[in-house]
A and B are shown apart, each in its own frame.
Chain A
Amino acid sequence: MIVFKNYFNIVKRHLGIIIMFSAISIGVSVINTSYTSTEDYVSVEPKIAVINYDESSLSNNFVDYITERAEIVEVEDNEKAIQDSLYLNKVDSILIIPDNFGANLLMGNEPNVKIKKSTQNVSEYTELLVNRYFKIAENYSKVGMTENEIINNIEKDIQNEIEVKVSSENQSDMEKLAVYYSFENYAFLSIFTFIIGTIMCIFNKETIRKRNNVSKLNPKSFSNQLFLGHMTLTLSIWAIFILISVILYKDLMFTINGLLLILNSLCFAITATSLAYLIGCLIKNENVISGIQNVISLGLSFISGCFVPIEWLDTNIINFSKIFPSYWFIQGNYDITKLSTFNYETIQPVIQNCGIILAFGIIYFSISKIIIAKKVKN
């Protein structure tokens, strides 16, 4: 096992940059997960800012009504603040109630509230809430009720809400867990390609390669020991990622969902190692490692739903991404976190998914073997 031993001597020399890269990736994963907004309520609360120029009792009561159904965000009343909050996704929509709105509504003048929105579907819900309130108010005024009567009656009406049953629980934290695990796609591809590429370049240096070729060590054993070294290193990094997820999401990780996530992630770590090994076999120059590392990790993360939600992607892109393990890994994570019943029928697709990920790994490893065999022959 001289190659294996020597492998870790080289790792020791590059330990600083390996730790730096891993720490950045882990830090970025944790921050990314913490700041992914997930829906915590049976009713999604849209983030709304209300700018009220009308100080009538009706419009104040409307603001209270919205406050109960939305997450109210304070936004300064100037164009820049409004624009920023919409662009930075701090609010889904901003409602601007004009002066004299309440009086005009009660007089039957059909005034309008202005809306500035960023996301179409969430704003649609806001519009439903606004229209409902004013429709009832206007009708009450038509039957001759005073402003106070209208407010009192609306308050009674809006207490009536239908009963909702949610069949799966803990969805919000589970979703965060899926985001954390899916970010491993970027982290693993980036770290593994860099580390394995760097180490392979050292072993592939012409002088060292020639020296190794004349040694009595069997080339097969040499490449196997090298791969074993890679596996040991990458699985140690994988274990750190798992450990952090266990610390952050203790309750969820000790469930069947958690175990399946670990399994899925292990399969991907093995496949990512094989891919990095294949790249390492092809690289001759140390300077190209960073380029390949970034193109592969960022590229696959963008088209497979790691950086942007898969729903944003075009169907053609999704179909294209299916030829890479990243898609199956990320899809697997989301499928696992959605599972609420566990039997052969529900778990089988997850296992099948893991099989697909590993199959990619075997393909990459086999291609590396062919390349190595050709190199030895030459």
Chain B
Amino acid sequence: MFKHLFMNKMKILLKNKAMLFWSLIFPFVLGTFFQLALGNVGEAFEMEVIPVAVVDNQYYQEDKILKEVISSLSKENENQLFNTVYVDESEAQKLLDNEEIDGYILLKEDNNPQMIVKTNGINQTIIKSVLDEYYQMSNATTQMINYNPEILYNGVLETLYEEKNYITDDSNENIDFSINYFFTLIAMTCLYGSLIGLEVIKDCEANLSKKGARMCMAPVNKFKMILAGLLAGYVIQLVALALLFLYLIFVFNINFGNQILPTVVLAMVGCLAGTSLGTFVGVSNRKSEGFKIGILISVTMTCCFFSGMMGVIDIKVFFDETFPLLAKINPVNIITDGLYSLFAYDNLDVYYNCLARISIFSLVLITLSFMFIRRKKYDSI
């Protein structure tokens, strides 16, 4: 009997276009949009050659060291920092107004360079830093000569303007905040299992639909009927999620880390959380189906927003720090954090914490839903 109920429910659900859209098509479409929007993100943060202008006046021509510094930084090689044009002041201002350069350098009578920029920004800051360095190095040279005039002859001064590196890069290549968008996408898909839960429960409860009333008349154990329906929906949601994982990994080369089993377990519990949320919203009130769908989608999308799906990751940080309790029970945030922990940490402490929280979330909703469902008997509907 259970198999019969399960198979039939599966067939019914697979014919429900709206539900299939949310579980199967929407995450794929959104994932594609993410990739379109973020595919280039690595390049956006790469250091680019900064367009600058130098006002080519008499004072600049007289400053041999600055000329040498600017020209070596503008040489076309892998360390090129500036793309420099040499123009007069009015032309430089025009280029700045048209945003063709990030700033221009002007030397005046006192030989101190001045930098003119239109707006603030990292490129402008780098130009300033390079000029500061030049200025400070000249000062240091004077101090060194005063301290020990011999250096004019022993070669120390020559090394002063050479590029030298005091830094080793120890960054973890794995860290790329754009992956957070894909974690939230997986979490969102888990939560969209709620729509299946809602669909199943609507057809099983006599006070929610005509079909539910008819089903309650049938000589079938109600618990068995609901369980078979929810299980069928859960299986569909898991398959949809598996397809999404495959799509993201093989089509877009998204790296979810190497810990496959914990990822699968988290995804399975995540889908359970989605199904239980839908069941709870379904049984807890008698509003129209459209209203309940609207509620589930807006709740899910709001949870996604606070997990950093829309816009910069700062929103997630803000929410995590300002409303730590809500952040800890936001199911999208829990799944996102769990996936991130697998990706970033060597141990599984954070992962187990997330797994426990999402399991508790599901259990609470299942218990509440059960309280609404049980012991309902109708004399007449």
- Contact for B168 among A17, A112, A139, CB less than 8 A: A112
Are A39 and B121 in contact (CB-based, < 8 A)? yes
A165 CB-CB contact with B under 8 Å: yes
Are B120 and A288 in contact (CB-based, < 8 A)? no
Q: How far is the CB of A229 from chain B (nearest CB, A)?
A: 20
B378 CB-CB contact with A under 8 Å: no
Q: B interface, by DSSP: helix, strand, loop or mixed?
A: helix
A67 CB-CB contact with B under 8 Å: no
A125 CB-CB contact with B under 8 Å: yes
- Contact for A35 among B47, B122, B318, CB less than 8 A: B318
Are A120 and B46 in contact (CB-based, < 8 A)? yes
Count how many pairs of residues, one from A and one from B, have CB atoms less than 8 Å apart in the complex: 270
List of A residues within 8 angstroms of B45 by Cβ? 119-121
Are B129 and A308 in contact (CB-based, < 8 A)? no
Q: In this complex, what residue of A is CB-closest to B32?
A: A299
List of A residues within 8 angstroms of B121 by Cβ? 39, 44
List of B residues within 8 angstroms of A116 by Cβ? 170-172
Q: How far is the CB of A191 from chain B (nearest CB, A)?
A: 11
Contact flag A44-B310 (CB < 8 Å), given A21-B298, A128-B130: no
What is the bound-complex CA distance between A88 and B113, given in angstroms?
A: 38
A24 CB-CB contact with B under 8 Å: yes
A68 CB-CB contact with B under 8 Å: no
List the one stretch of A152-160, A209-217, A260-268, A356-364 in contact with chain B.
A152-160
- Contact for A96 among B46, B170, B316, CB less than 8 A: B170
Contact flag A168-B119 (CB < 8 Å), given A131-B165, A307-B37: yes
B48 CB-CB contact with A under 8 Å: yes
Q: In this complex, what residue of B is CB-closest to A198?
A: B290
Are A312 and B139 in contact (CB-based, < 8 A)? no
List of B residues within 8 angstroms of A298 by Cβ? 30, 33, 310
List of B residues within 8 angstroms of A83 by Cβ? 172, 175, 344-345
Interface residues of B in 119-178 (CB under 8 A from A): 119-126, 128-133, 135-137, 139-140, 143-144, 147-148, 151, 156, 159-160, 163-172, 175, 177
Are A163 and B112 in contact (CB-based, < 8 A)? yes
The chain A residues found within 8 Å of chain B, CB to CB, are 17, 20-21, 24, 28, 31-32, 34-37, 39-44, 79-80, 83-84, 86-90, 96, 110-122, 124-125, 127-132, 134-136, 138-140, 142-145, 149, 153, 156-158, 160-168, 171-172, 183, 186, 194, 285-288, 290-291, 294-295, 298-299, 301-303, 307-309, 311-314, 317, 338
The chain B residues found within 8 Å of chain A, CB to CB, are 18, 21-22, 26, 29-30, 33-34, 36-41, 44-48, 96, 112-126, 128-133, 135-137, 139-140, 143-144, 147-148, 151, 156, 159-160, 163-172, 175, 177, 180, 290-291, 293-294, 297-298, 301-302, 305, 310-318, 340, 344-346, 350
